[in-house]
Structure formats: C-alpha cells, structure tokens
Amino acid sequence: MPTRASSSWFARPVSHWVGPHVLAMLVLALCLGLTYGAWRNAHDVSEQQVQADFDFRVRELMNNIGGRMQTYIQVLHGVQGLYASSREVTRREFHAYLAVQQVDRHFPGIHGIGYLPLVSGGALARHEASVRAEGYPGYAVRPHGQRAWHAPITYLEPLSESNLLAFGYDIWSEPVRRAALEQARDTGQAAMTGKIQLVQDGGNAQAHGFLVVLPVYDNSLPHGSVEQRRAALRAWVFAPFRMADLMAGVGGEASRQLDLEIYDGAQLADAALMFDSLPGTQSAGASATLVARQAISIAGRAWTVRVRAMPGFDGELLARPRLVAMTGVLVSLALALAAWLLAVGRARAQAALLRSSELTGQLEQGQASVLAMAEAAQRSQAMLRSILDSTIDGILVDSIDGRIFTSNRRFRDLWQVPDALDWQADGAALVRHVESQLEQAAPFLGARTHAPHGHRERRDVLHLRDGRVVEQYVRSMQLGNEQARLWTFRDISERSQMERREHTRRQVLEMLATGAPLERVLESVVLSVQADHPAMLCSILLLDENRHRLVLGAAPSLPAFFNLSSHGHDLDTLQGVHGIAVQALREGQRVIVGDLHAAADGHEAMELAWRAQLQSCWAEPVRGGSGKLLGVLMAYHRQPMLPGAAHLARLGEAAHLAGMAIEQAQVALALRAGEARFRSLYDHAPVALWEQDWSAVRAALDALEEAGVRDLGAHFQAHPDALQRLAGLVRIIDANGAALAQVRANEEDQRRGALGLAQNFDDSALPRFGDALLALAGGAHLYECESSFVRLDGAARQNELSLLVMPGHADSLDFVMVSSLDITERKRMNAELLQLATTDFLTGLPNRRHFMAALANEHARLQRELASCASVLMLDIDHFKRVNDEYGHAVGDAVLRHLGALMCQALRKVDVPGRVGGEEFAILLPGTDLAAAAVFAERLRRRVVESSLTTDGGILITITVSIGMAAMAGTDADCDAVLARADEALYRAKRGGRNRIEQNDGGSDGVLSKFMAQ
C-alpha cells in the first residue's frame, strides 16, 4: 500500500501542484527561453554571413580597381613599346596604332592617350612651328612663360572636343603633374599624379582625376641608372583619367549597396577626396560597423579606399533572426495558451477522467512538439537552400556511391547543366555532362575515385574546353549515418589568366633583359600557352628579311617532319595546313579552321596534318609595335574544335609577347651594328673630334664658389695663373684619327698622355678657354669659338672649336665632345682676299667698293645723329691724260701713287680716302663742316702743287688737282646724293680753270667759288 500510494502521488500532473496561470507562465518562459536561444544563434550566423559577404565585396572591389588600373598601365606599356621600336613615331602612326586598340571602347575610364615630348626652353618656338606645320595653325604651348623645360601635350588620341582643350598644355608647368613626370623619368616605371583637375574638364571644380605617365627613352643611350635615364629621356606617354568615369561599373551591381570613397594619400581628408560613390547626404545612413579601410598602391602612388555598407546591404539575412523571434514568440504564446486551456480543462474534469486527461495533454504536447520540429526543419532547409544558392562557389553534395543529394544554382550555371537533365535521379548523367566539358577529365574522375577521408581535403585545377579554369575542392562529411562528399567549384579563369599573363610577361622580359637568344624566348612563349591549354600544340613561324619565306621560330612539341615542311619555304609554295599560316599573313587577321577534314579540298592538301594527327588549326598574326607583320602564331588541336574567348585572348597575348621579343631582338641587332658603325665613323670622321673630361675643372670651380668667389670672370682676369691651373686639369679621354693628324700626333702619343688642352687652347688663347669654361659651367650645352693651338712639332696654328656637353653630363662636365677645324690657311687667305677686295692695288688706298661702304656707314650715322656733320671731297688730277701721252703709263701710275701718298700724309685717323676712278679720288671727312673742309682742301691742294715727282729717267713732274666739296646730310635719300653734289662742284672747278676748289652748298646758283689759285 505505501508503494502504490507513492506511485500515485508522483504520477500526478504538474497542474495538480500549480494553477493554470502559473503553468501557462512556466510554459511561456520555457518557450521564450528556447526562442531566445534560436534567435541568438540565427542572429550570430546572419551577422557572420553579412560580415563575410561585406569582406568579399570589398576584396572583389579592390581587385577590380587594381586589375583595371594594371590593364590600363599595360595599354600605356604598349604605346611605350611603340616608341621603343621606332626612332620617330609620326602623328599618323600614333593615331593608327590607337585606332586599332580602340581604347575608348575596350578600356572605359581612359580619357585618352597622349604623347609628351621633352622640349627645352630654347627649342619651344621650333616645336610650336613643327606642330603648326602638321595642320594645327592655332597650336601654342600654354601656360605661356619662359621655362627651362616643357612637356606639352603634342599627341592626344582620340582627339575629341574635350581633349582639344588639353592640346598644347604644358604638363611640366604644374607641380603635381611635374612630380609624376620626374618620378617616371628617374625610375623608368609608370608613375601616377596626385589628385588634379583635368584640363579637359574646363575648370570644373567638382570633377577630379589623375594622370598615369610612362617614360620614353632614347634606345641608343643606356638608361640603367638615374643619371642615364635622365640623359636618355625623350618624352613621356600618358593617359588622363576622370575618377567618375574610371569607377563607373567597377563593382558591378553589388556595389550599389556600398559607399565607396577614394582618397589620395594615407589620410581621410576632404582635400584628398578623389571619388565618392554617394556624395553629400546620400551616405548619411551608412553602417558604422560594416566599414573597411584599405590602402592600394598604383604606379608608385598610394590611395586610401574606404568602403561602407549602406542600408539594405544585409538584405534578408538580418530579417531571418526577426522572423525566428516572431515565430518563436507566437508559438510560445500559443503553447502557453494551450497549456493554460489544458490546465483549466484538467482542473474542471472529473477525477475519474484524470488519467485520460493527462494522456490527452501529453498527446497534445507531443503533437505540438512534432509540429514545431517540422516547422523548424522546414525553416532550416529553406535557410540552407538560400545560403547555398547565394554563394559564389558551385556546391555539389553526393554519396560515396555517386548518388546526388543536392547542388546549388551556381554549380548548375558554372557547368551549364541543362534544365532537361534529371541530375538528382541520374547522377551518372551529371558526371558525364561535366566530363564532356573538360579538356582532361582525370583530375575530376580521380577525385571521385580517391576521395579524402577525415578532415582532409583534395584540391585540383580543371581546364574546360572553352578555355575556362575551375578550382575544385573535395572534402568528406557525415550526413546522419551516411558518408558523403562535399564538392566546391570556383571559376578562377580571370585570376589564372592574369597570373599566367604576368608570369609569362615577366619571364619574357627577364629573358630579353638578359640577352637570351630569340629562339629561347619564343620557345618560352609557346610552352606557356601549351601549359595553359594542355591539349593545344603551338608554333611560331617568322617572315625572313625579304618577307618571302617562312622561318621556324619555335615549335617544341610538334613533329620534326611537320616543322621542316614549312621552314625556309616560299609563301607561294606552301599549301594545306601551312597555307592557313600564309592566309593569315596575307590577310593580316586571325584565321580559324575548326575541322581540317571538312576544310580539305583533297587528301593530299592535308596529308601533313593527317600524319601529325592534327584536326583543327588557328592562326594568329604576330605584329610589331608599329603594326608591321613579323610572323604568325599557330595553334593546333588533335580534335576538331573552335576557340573560346579565353583561347583567343591567350593567343592574342602570346602573339603580342612574341612580337615584342622579335622586335627586341631586331633592335638589339641593329643597336650592335649601329655601335660598330658609330665607332667606325668616329675613327674615320674627316672632322677632328676630341673626347674630354672637365669634371676636375668643375670641382675646382665649385671649390672657388665655396671660398666666396662670385664673379669668376673677374677672378680669372685678376689671377691668370688660376686659369692656367684649371686648363691643366682637363683630361683628353680619346681623339680620332683626324684630331691626331691635325696636331701631328699618333696613337702612341695618345697612349702616353702627350696630348693636352694646348692642342685646343694654347697659352695665348687661355682667355677663350675661360669664356668657354664660364659658358659650359653656366649651363650652356654648346659653345663655339676661335682659338689658337700648338701642334706637337711646336708650330702655332689657329682653329675653330665647337664644345658640346653630352646630354646628362651638364652638371659634372665629365663628357665634353670637342670638334676642331684648323683654319690657319683659311684665315690667311681671308686676310689676303679682304686686302684685295678693299684696297686699290696701285695706290694702296681703299678702292671704290670700300669707300662707298664707309660712305654708307657715315650716312647711317648722320641719320641717327642729326646734329652731326660730314663733308666729302672729290679730287681729279689736272691734264692727267697728257702725262700718260707724253711720259707713258708707267709714269702715270707713279703720279697716281705719289698723289695717294700725299693724301695719306694729310689725313686724320677717322678720315677715309679712296680711289673712285682712273685719276679721280675722294675723301670722307667725318665730323667736319664745309668751312673746315675748305681749309683742309686748300692745304692739300698747296701740298700737291709744292711737291714734285722725279721719275727713274730723271724727269721732274709737277701736278695740280681740282677739288669739289659738298656737305653730307642725314636728310639725303642715299649716300650717292652727296657724291653727285661733290662731283658737280669738281666739274665746275675744272671748267673754272683747274687747280682750284669749288663747293656745292645747295644754294640757288649751285656752286660758289671760295678759293682759287693765285
């Protein structure tokens, strides 16, 4: 009895001990506790998913920005390669190259691609004239002003209306832009400016942008160091970017829920803000927790990127916890209400029905629990399906024996599973469908056969026939009591292509930099393509120098007989599969033959393809930077197939790399030949050339400046020995054959250091050396002068010198090229010719040409100095014809010389005599009026009368002269007017009786007698 009573006591329901309200509250509290646990778990999972989704979007956005900028920099590298492969690129060639690239279509965000030549301040006018001659009459470099260097926008494609605003803009004039130019010049790499306003925007303060520049060097000069790169710099190529255009669509549809801000530099300052996807108050509701700040470096410039999630980014993920909470609360209330109703029912039931009531309550509670579990299971399944379908990876879950449990939407899209395929019922059909899309199915099938166990996972890379690359992960998992496999697939085609392109490009560039043979470089290009597509066999065929034959460049995987059948053969003789390569070369475009069997006209045409077991062929022309055809890249397959977009992109890139390698090899060959020709021309040049080192002189000048010497010219005049000491510091590095012959030296004299600066400037020419030193030290690149030098045999000679400071050596003066020309004989001949051209051979007086030139100079002086005066005298020997007739012309010549001597004795230094005719003479008296001229003329007339001439025969001859005078005025039309007036006065003197002086003062009667013979 006690045992039975105890059992009945414990078997009583809870409602027997507590009231209905208390029971309902307990049920409600318990259910709410369970609901809170479920809500908390769902909330944590949702927040983790939102954070993971946000981090992924940020990484994807950063990769898109970096990838896009790297692509655009590669475009600039292509333009740089165009200049590297050509000594000069015309505007037409530049336009044609960029028209083929279609930059504005394929590369959104680039506002254009331009060319910036490095123009010195002295060459600016010549640069503007050359551009105007090309069809741009209004072209001018702006902003205006005198600067040492200019970098104007000379080429800019496409030359749209907005780009015309930037045409001629001097980028060197603006500090931010100039900093990028200098960085690119010194590093040899791409450089990016800071935040700027593009000239194309016309001063729009709301539009921000930047420039990316690449240097263009003179390939004939080394540029391994900073100094060499500065010396070899020719120009820059650049691309302007507007941030709003560059960022348009960079993040895809997902970026609309993100606020993207890009700052120039490392600080988040308003002044450094370059781009804001949601400007102003649009980003006021941005999340304070979902924020990412990352730094990115592009072309040597750091950007700071801040990304914030906008309302609605979390979407339905954060709504799910609320749904769980609301459902739990409703279920809790329902259960509490049911518990209360059941408790009330039990309390009112009869004692006889107590047991049945308890059973009924338990049954109802069990049903409610089952219903809740079913609802929870349904929600969990829906949540799992939503999560699976929203992932970026393709997911497949199957059993060890191949039964398919589930797959998400991304998996079906990735593998292009048709809707008609019942993959859940027929897992083998799904496997066959996946296998049919793979170039090599072994990794996929191997993962099915040898699945990993435990927590380990297996990774494989799958190559699809359409060129895509998929990363596959397989790991084991437990589904209830059954062992299952979780497959994860991710499309890494773009990442793989970028990695392969970068690896191949770096490898090719390293091989080119180290001077690897062209065959090795081309073989590396071919092997890289075959590594990306194992089912592909490639070869590179080159055009010979005459462009009539094909030469094998690289074909490491094709049979030898197949390669020999095209090597060295004329283009006209190649048919069949090799005829496809000829077709691509002649048409200059890609040729694709998906099925060689179907394309063959006869069995013999494709016999080589049959023997090599090739069934499809693609031909990609290989071009140089200027667009010139260099060869063709051939891709073969053992199965009929057409190329996908990834195949064509890979072939195009490989052809571009091959073109770079071929052109680099040609440039290297031409460079070596050019160096040999230059040395030959230098050694055999007819002009004397001297290579000199003035670096020690430069150091000595710096020491003088540090010692306080400011005026070097005055210092050298006061201390001639200092200039002599500096001349001794010049070193002769090299001299060609003409220079050695000029100073009577040989190569042995050069080797033992017998040559010095005296062979260009001797002691008497040291002032000329000082002038040259001051000019070169002051920044002049070229100085020309005349000097005197000493040959090694001691002979003093005169020479003409041109001193040229080679580019890049203006600061140190360690490379000065001097050309010298011996002008000793030329100066002697010039002096003799000048004497013959200006002097009368008989009297030694200036001839008529020299006298007229002096008269013209004096007339010009009177026009400038109206208060000054001058007079002209015309003299004629009286009865000179009788002297010739009686005594002969020899005596007449003696009389002329006698009169010339008398004239010279009476003249001042400033007076100019001249013989202007047979027996006619003239005298120019600067600064002399007619009264003073009359006194001089009378004194000369008397001296002639009083002086007699005794000939060799003892004959005494006395002569007289008639003189006409006229005043010279600046108002005369020319100098002939005064000669006409003086000549008129002379003839009046001869008509008046000779041996007299007449003057023409311009009066009414014309001539007024002043002096007559007594």
Distance in angstroms (rounded) separating the CA atoms of residues 67 and 59: 12
Q: At what angle are helices 766-777 and 695-706 packed, to 10 degrees?
A: 80
Beta bridge partners of 470: 462, 491
Q: What is the DSSP letter of 806?
A: P
Distance in angstroms (rounded) separating the CA atoms of residues 608 and 578: 9
Question: Residue 765 CB: number of other CB atoms within 10 A?
Answer: 24
Distance in angstroms (rounded) separating the CA atoms of residues 221 and 229: 9
143 upstream amide cis, omega within 30 of 0? yes
Burial class of residue 297 in the structure, from the number of CB atoms within 10 Å of its CB (0-12 exposed, 13-18 middle, 19+ buried): exposed
By residue count, the chain amounts to: 1014
* Those residues with Cβ within 8 angstroms of residue 294's Cβ, 6 or more apart along the chain or in another chain: 58, 62, 304, 305, 307
Do the Cβ atoms of 963 and 1007 come closer than 8 Å? Answer: no
Distance in angstroms (rounded) separating the CA atoms of residues 747 and 736: 9
Closest by CA to 217, choosing from 244, 236, 242, is 236
Catalytic residue among 93, 919, 938, 998: 919
Distance in angstroms (rounded) separating the CA atoms of residues 665 and 295: 39
Closest by CA to 894, choosing from 845, 840, 943, 951, is 951
Pairing state of beta strands 961-968 and 997-1000? parallel
The question of whether 919 is a catalytic residue gets the answer: yes
Distance in angstroms (rounded) separating the CA atoms of residues 939 and 948: 16
Closest by CA to 200, choosing from 114, 134, 123, is 114
Q: Which helix (H) or strand (E) holds 849?
A: helix 848-864
Structure tokens, 411: 């998996």
Do the Cβ atoms of 286 and 259 come closer than 8 Å? Answer: yes
Structure tokens, 224: 């391994």
Closest by CA to 811, choosing from 232, 235, 230, is 230
Do the Cβ atoms of 192 and 205 come closer than 8 Å? Answer: no
Burial class of residue 843 in the structure, from the number of CB atoms within 10 Å of its CB (0-12 exposed, 13-18 middle, 19+ buried): buried
Q: What 3-state DSSP class applies to 968?
A: strand
Distance in angstroms (rounded) separating the CA atoms of residues 730 and 298: 47
Cα 756 off chain centre by: 43
Cα 640 off chain centre by: 44
Closest by CA to 926, choosing from 1000, 859, 986, is 859
Handedness of CA 684, 685, 687, 692 (dihedral sign): negative
Handedness of CA 86, 92, 94, 96 (dihedral sign): negative
Cα 248 off chain centre by: 25
* Those residues with Cβ within 8 angstroms of residue 122's Cβ, 6 or more apart along the chain or in another chain: none
Residues that are catalytic: 919
